[in-house]
Amino acid sequence: MIYKDHNGEAIQGASPEELIMNLKNGSRFGSEQELQEYMDEMAERVKEYRGLSAAPRTDSCENFMNDLEACGYWRRVL
C-alpha cells in the first residue's frame, strides 16, 4: 500500500506496521524513537496541527493509519 501525506510525500509498506515504521524512519522527529512512542507523540502533534478534538488512536498501527487518513493527514493512492 502507498499513501501520500499532506505534503505530497509517498510512504509505502506491505502492512500497517511497515507503513508506520517507514513513516517514523523518515521523520525528523521520531527516527530514534520506539514505534509506540513515535505514534503517541505524532498523534498529539496531528491533533494540535489539525485542530482535532481527539488524537488519532495509537492502540494499533492499523487504527493509527486509518485515523491519519480520516483526519486528512494522508490518503491512500495504491
**Does pLDDT of 75 surpass 90?**
yes
Long-range CB pairs of 30-39 (<8 Å, 24+ gap) are 35/61, 39/64
Which residue type sits at 62? E
pLDDT tens for 26-64 read 988 787 899 999 999 999 999 999 999 999 999 999 999
Domain range summary for the chain, segments of one domain joined by +: 2-76
% of the chain beyond a pLDDT of 70: 100
Is 0.85 topped by the overall pTM?
yes
The pLDDT of residue 73 is: 96
Who has greater pLDDT, 32 or 14? 14
Q: Give CA separation, 77 vs 52, 57, 61, 69, in Å.
A: 24, 22, 18, 11
